A and B are shown apart, each in its own frame.
Chain A
Amino acid sequence: MKILVLISQVPDTTARIAFTNNNTQYDANGVTFIVNPYDEWYALVRALELKEAAGAGSVTSITVGGADNEATIRKALAIGADDAVRIDVAALEAYQVACEVAAYAKDKGFDLILAGKETIDFNGGQVGAMVAELLDLPYVPLASKLDVAGTTATVERDVPGGVEVLELQLPAVIGAAKGMAEQRIPNMRGIMAARTKPLTVVPSSNPASVASTVQFELPPAKGAVKMIPAEEAGKLIELLHTEAKVI
């Protein structure tokens, strides 16, 4: 089985959020970047598990981004990807990223393409679906479980009020959510091996731009918290009714 995993780089979950250039750019000063957790913990690890279970195949990781994505790519290789591809262009928006990935993947015969549920910085959850459309493949977002038998994939996902079990034929694109796999910590051997694994840098296919983020802002500050003594807890319900007017 030939698997492609989409890997993106994001600020650490606890990073300070600030903007520069008149609030038009994220201020990356002093920020630690990590591999997007959905891509690393779930999409990549499940891809490796499926390859291991099949006893054959390959897992390729692909990143759209400049040379500053090096550490992210190395981490994917250290965790176990066989090889890595970097499309050498800054990732600016989802459609651009999807076009780049699709242009690379279209004639490579991948059986399965895995993306994360969303990037934890831009929270779009759209690249996977766009890649699927550009390659004319089925796509399931928010998958918390993925099994493959032959060319049939079984996917589970949380829907309001329960769990939905879906079946589809490969090739397909799947968006990985929590539950799909357990995080793997790269070991020393993996880290050493990553240094000699192939990393291919591919030029951009120059897709059209259709949208852009023009401005950032921080959300309005919260007012002070109103404390209610525990003995008078019932007053909370009263205040929610008369003051906040939410019940």
Chain B
Amino acid sequence: MSTIVFIDTRGGKLPKAAQEAVTYASQLEGGPVTAVTFGDAQGLETLGAQGASKVVVARGVSTVDGQQLTKLVCDVAAAEGATTIVCVSDATGKAVAPRVAARLKAGHVAGTIGLPQGNRFTRNVFSGKARAQVEVTSATRVISLSPNSIPIGTGGGSATVQEHAGDLGPSRITVKELRKAGSGIPLPEAERVVSAGRGMKGPENWGPVEELANLLHAATACSRPVADMHWRPHHEHVGQTGVAIRPNLYIAIGISGAIQHLAGVNQSKVICVINKDPEAPFFKAADYGIVGDAFEVLPKLIEAAKKLNAER
């Protein structure tokens, strides 16, 4: 019995979600943990701190082709005799985990949010309005972990790093172009998010939103009409049709709190709402609220955040 954890480490450094997944795999009690990844990331041995005893890396492979990556995961799983396979519920994981499950005729838990109770895994359903417990009945199980679901482990030692030699077959998908729309913190991984809506009146007013986000080390997000009107890039749009996020802190400025917006953010641990309308539905979902004009409230928040940062 052993566990495989498949992580995307492209971009050189070990993403938070990858470290979370390795931590999670080591706490599942599925035997020794082997992390599987691809590309050129360095420092893979440090995944020992999160509980991996071994890391298998397909060097020189840079692909978004789920078929190649599925072959990689299944080959290592077969070599290790793995019965548990953990993936991250992100764009790469979504192209790989269900495929691995289908290939191995294994049950897949799509986006669990914590450790199981026995063999029951909890996941959000109905866009966060309910939770479901899923039981895998096949001998092998594939578990995808939602980002921000578990604190990153620290104990542990150093993992041995081994290169994967096998052939992954031809790539049937090629990346033609990557159009960067900003640097900053990737939204699905962000622990803090400052988000703004149509109440900001126009794209020229986003300066203070970005400033507050920077001061709080937060990512920026927006409501759907804001992305639709091209005030902000599409990848910042959160909600039912956008990205679903579950940060520790979500600050919503000038967003009414429509049910489809809430669907993507209602799993945030702490929600702050700033809206000039005391009847805005968002206040019902909030932990902290301020009824006021964003253009007057934001400078006060920025000033307080500067003060806090200076004291730390």
Contacts and interface: CB of A to CB of B under 8 A. Distances in A.
Interface string A145-177: 000000000100111111111111100100101
B308 interface: yes
A75 interface: no
A123 B290 contact: no
B259 interface: yes
B189 A160 contact: yes
A71 interface: no
Given A13-B260, A130-B99, A161-B182, A234 B130 contact: no
B105 A142 contact: no
Interface in A104-160: 120-130, 132-134, 136, 138-142, 144, 154, 157-160
Interface string B256-270: 000110010011011
A228 interface: yes
A133 B67 CA distance: 8
Nearest to A18: B130
Interface stretch (B78-86, B154-162, B169-177): B169-177
Contact of A167 (B97, B173, B269, B307): B173
A222 B182 CA distance: 34
Interface residues of B, number: 100
Contacts of A166: 64, 173-176
A133 B172 CA distance: 13
Contacts of A222: 285, 287
A136 B98 CA distance: 13
A160 B188 contact: yes
Interface in B240-272: 240-244, 248-249, 259-260, 263, 266-267, 269-270, 272
A240 B188 contact: no
A178 to B, nearest CB: 4
A58 to B, nearest CB: 24
B120 A214 contact: yes
Contact of A139 (B66, B107, B109, B289): B66
Interface stretch (A184-192, A196-204, A205-213): A205-213
A210 B105 contact: yes
A94 B144 CA distance: 14
A159 B107 contact: no
A211 B107 contact: yes
A218 B287 contact: no
B91 A142 contact: yes
Contacts of B95: 129, 139-141
Interface in B101-135: 101-103, 105-111, 120, 123-135
A94 B95 CA distance: 14
A52 interface: no
A19 B132 CA distance: 11
Given A126-B110, A211-B109, A219 B130 contact: yes
Contacts of B289: 225-228
Given A168-B172, A211-B136, A230-B296, A141 B270 contact: no
B172 A212 contact: no
B198 interface: no
Given A133-B67, A160-B235, A234-B300, 12 more contacts: A14-B259, A94-B98, A94-B110, A128-B98, A165-B178, A214-B120, A218-B129, A218-B130, A225-B284, A225-B286, A236-B288, A238-B304
Interface of B: 64-67, 70, 91, 94-99, 101-103, 105-111, 120, 123-138, 172-184, 186-189, 191-192, 216, 233-235, 237, 240-244, 248-249, 259-260, 263, 266-267, 269-270, 272-274, 283-293, 296-297, 300-301, 303-305, 307-308
5 residue pairs, one from A and one from B, having the closest CB atoms: A230-B292, A211-B107, A160-B186, A234-B304, A129-B98
